[in-house]
């Protein structure tokens, strides 16, 4: 599964053969394979939205990948924002019934969501801190020292901080440095370095956003991108599978699969 921010842009890149296979040891490119199964997803307002996402197949390894929009979670009949509504309600103290009422979903379903996030809360928190820290916003991940909260609440708090960093820092290009009237000695080198750092972070996250669609993501959709579609299926330990948060890197941006690159993957254990 590949989480995509802009399905139309992803489809165009796929048709052009510009998407690299996300499998860790594969150098192949993806091509259009077939439409995935039709699914109906419940939105926060209770309405259901029907979609049939694209499915790609790697020319080299033959593995297929569904290109799922960021407003969807894999194998869930409820949208990312609906699930997020329940998580936020629980983080604010609601029980299963209250969170279910807030999300408009059955109590048993919401209980499964909350338990899933509770089990993987330490890993999700660590992932969020990694992202926010890379953007210089790690301090916002931690609740105030006087607050006592559950692991789920801590994870939601940290994920919110990571989404904020994503919107405010990671996906917004810094203004181009301006050259003063002098002979070029007053270039804002800090701005240049800052922009290089931002681009490197996105590269390390394997996140590309050629159309700027990421700026329109809701906070929970951004969290879905940052957790590579694994908000409800994150592993408890440190062996998070390598994945593609936004959409697969274009061929020319493919990172080298050496030890150094692998070590800076987001959401690997810190
Ligand atoms: Zn492949």
Most confidently modeled range among 98-107, 135-144, 181-190, 191-200:
98-107
User: What's the mean pLDDT in 175-179?
Assistant: 60
Separation of alpha carbons 141 and 156, rounded Å: 9
pLDDT at 51 over 60: yes
Closest to 234 measured CA to CA, from 266, 203, 200 = 266
Structural domain contains residue 227: yes
pLDDT at 43 over 80: yes
For residue 117, what pLDDT is reported? 96
Residues having C-beta closer than 5 Å to ion ligand 1? 21, 23, 26, 28, 58, 60-61
179: enclosing H helix or E strand: none
Distance 58 CA to ligand 1 centre (A): 5
Bridge partner residues of 34 (DSSP): 55
Distance 147 CA to ligand 1 centre (A): 46
pLDDT at 255 over 50: no
> Which 3 state secondary structure label does DSSP give 221?
helix
For residue 61, what pLDDT is reported? 95
Distance 70 CA to ligand 1 centre (A): 22
Task: Using pLDDT thresholds of 50, 70 and 90, give the confidence band for residue 25.
Answer: confident
Structural domain count of the chain: 1
Task: Using pLDDT thresholds of 50, 70 and 90, give the confidence band for residue 242.
Answer: very low
For residue 260, what pLDDT is reported? 30
Distance 21 CA to ligand 1 centre (A): 5
Task: Using pLDDT thresholds of 50, 70 and 90, give the confidence band for residue 105.
Answer: very high
Distance 22 CA to ligand 1 centre (A): 7
Structural domain contains residue 270: no
Q: What percent of the chain has pLDDT over 90?
A: 44
Structural domain contains residue 147: yes
Structural domain contains residue 268: no
Structural domain contains residue 162: yes
Strands 2-4 and 64-69 turn out to be: parallel
pLDDT at 207 over 90: no
Structural domain contains residue 55: yes
250 is in which domain, residue-wise? 2-263
pTM: 0.79
DSSP string, 71-128: T--TT-SB-HHHHHHHHHHHHTT--HHHHHHHHTS-HHHHHHHHHHHHHTHHHHHHHH
Distance 257 CA to ligand 1 centre (A): 13
Of the ranges 21-25, 27-31, 83-87, 182-186, which one carries the lowest mean pLDDT score? 182-186
Structural domain contains residue 185: yes
Structural domain contains residue 242: yes
**C-alpha dist (Å) from residue 135 to 26, 123, 213, 225, 246:** 29, 19, 20, 16, 17
């Amino acid at each position: 599964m590949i989480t995509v921010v802009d399905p139309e842009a992803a489809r165009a890149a796929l048709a052009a053969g510009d998407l690299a296979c996300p499998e860790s040891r594969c150098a192949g490119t993806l091509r259009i394979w077939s439409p995935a199964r039709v699914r109906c997803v419940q939105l926060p307002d209770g309405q259901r939205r029907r979609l049939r996402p694209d499915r790609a197949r790697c020319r080299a390894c033959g593995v297929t990948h569904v290109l799922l929009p960021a407003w969807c979670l894999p194998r869930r009949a409820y949208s990312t924002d609906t699930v997020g509504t329940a998580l936020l309600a629980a983080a604010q103290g609601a029980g299963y019934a209250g969170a279910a009422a807030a999300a408009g979903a059955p109590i048993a379903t919401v209980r499964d969501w909350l338990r899933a996030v509770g089990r993987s809360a330490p890993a999700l928190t660590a992932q969020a801190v990694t992202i926010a820290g890379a953007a210089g916003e790690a301090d916002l991940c931690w609740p105030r020292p006087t607050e006592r909260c559950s692991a789920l609440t801590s994870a939601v708090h940290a994920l919110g901080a990571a989404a904020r960093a994503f919107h405010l820092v990671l996906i917004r290009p810094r203004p181009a440095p301006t050259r003063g009237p002098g002979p070029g000695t007053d270039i804002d080198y800090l701005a240049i370095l800052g922009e290089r750092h931002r681009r490197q972070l996105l590269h390390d996250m394997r996140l590309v956003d050629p159309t700027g669609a990421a700026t329109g993501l809701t906070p929970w959709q951004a969290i879905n991108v940052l957790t590579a579609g694994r908000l409800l299926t994150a592993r408890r330990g440190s062996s998070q599978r390598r994945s593609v948060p936004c959409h697969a890197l274009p061929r020319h941006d493919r990172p080298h699969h050496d030890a150094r690159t692998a070590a800076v993957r987001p959401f690997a254990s810190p």
